Structure 1
Amino acid sequence: MEPTREPESSPYQPPIPAETQTRRPSRVWLLVGIVAVVLLVVYAVFRLGSSGEAPPEAGDDVVRDSDPGIDGIIAADAPASSFVVGDCLTSFTSPLEPATIVECETPHTAQFIGTADLDPDIPYPGKPDTTEKAAEACKQIKLDTDVLTSQRWEYQFSQPTGGSWEAGDRSVDCFLAVTSPDETATGTLLPAESAEETES
């Protein structure tokens, strides 16, 4: 009987169950992964910064659509500095906040009805007095009573601050806004001759 020999060790190893398999990633691959993530972030930032879309325009540079479509939108989310007398507005929250300028025959919630100047010779009257004088000045603007009586309105206006008053600012921008957030108006509050003066 031949003696039994131990089998020679085989280069083959049985598979390790999946839950116990562990592999250490090569440092090179780890470094490649980090570089790839950094490059993706840089690419995304570059694409967002140069997507071809013009940044929102401010002030007098706002683009006004001279031929609005059926929605009547002349300029969406226009800054307050771009409003001109006669503009009818939707999404109006205050004379200092952006709003969408629309044709006045389109339902809207406010209109920029005009500007007024306070007495240049008086000292800065302080906020309550300035507000009262600004309201009085805005109420002197002539309006179309037919449109005025079709809704309930409230005056809103921007007025000089103490600092701008010292610099010579006496201007008040006057707006009328519908009082109910659920209502809109159509038509301009300005009489025909005022509208013609605004357009010329």
Structure 2
Amino acid sequence: MNHQDIPARPAADGQDNPSGHGQRPVPPKPSSPPTAGLPRVPATRHVPAGATPAPAPEPPFPIEPPPWRPRQIRPTVLKAAFAVFLVVVVGFLVWLALWLRADGQPTGTGDGDVPGVVETSATPLPSPLPLPREGVAPPDFRLGDCFKDFAPNALKSTIVACDTGHSAQLVAIYRYPATDSYPGSEALKAKALEACQAARLAPAANDYTLNFQRSYPSRTSWDSGDRRADCYVTADGGNVINSSVLP
């Protein structure tokens, strides 16, 4: 019988092949799964159409609050603050208007009608009534009044506008408290002199020959309520003064 060589058949997987001929190499088993060390990707859950998805799970860490924002001021608060500010400003302007004359100069020491204070004036005060006025008693004289045909001891006088001819002007006043008793003529004369020394005159006074004259209440007029010691500037030549001599 003739013998024919038959090629060796490779061994099947898992069968022994002692000869080693025709065997396919088998790769070694990996020591760990190929996905080890890689970030895990959460599986996407399939939600059927029309179904309500389940709520997302709470995060394992706290959620930071939103950044702080300044509180907004309501418009009503701003309006109220503006109204208060406006009232304060208007009140100040009213006070200033009362303290200042229209020409912007002070009306005096600010102590008008205050007992125990010598009243002087930086500007002549306008008369509240039409001029001339006749038959005015000394207790009704006002600081800055100008007088025609003035006599210090007269019970009545005529007040005229200071830009018309006059012979005297009231430039300072000292008032005694209403509760004081009669101090005597010498004390009254001294207070009238003190008022004259405190009087301030304008440069216009240098245009005339003027004298200071004092007037004070008698015992009778004191008992009738007269509490003023007055200081006047007077002209010897009659009604020759044609302007106010106050600053």
* TM-score normalised by length of structure 2: 0.39
Greater relative contact order (Cα < 8 A, sep 6+):
1
Bigger share in helix: 1
* TM-score normalised by length of structure 1: 0.47
